[in-house]
Amino acid sequence: MNKDFNPLADLPMGFGMTLMQNENVMRRFAAMSDEEQKSVLSQTHTIQSKKEMQAFVNHMGDSGAVL
């Protein structure tokens, strides 16, 4: 476990706000390993709009969705 990694500090505001609107996805993200969280966060940096972010978070909530 990387002690320097803090997902809350690295959470883009738009992702965090959208994540908070979906409790199931928020729990899923919190349960991910550091590496999984880093992967998700790196993907959020390419998202350009609120609509895209909502689609991304919704996709995370899809059963069996692999990001």
pLDDT tens for each residue of the chain, 67 residues long? 455 666 667 788 899 999 999 999 999 999 999 899 999 999 999 999 999 999 999 999 886 555 5
How many angstroms separate the CA atoms of 13 and 19, rounded? 10
Write the single-letter amino acid at 51: K
How many angstroms separate the CA atoms of 1 and 13, rounded? 24
Q: Where are the domains of the chain?
A: 7-57
Write down the pTM of the prediction. 0.78
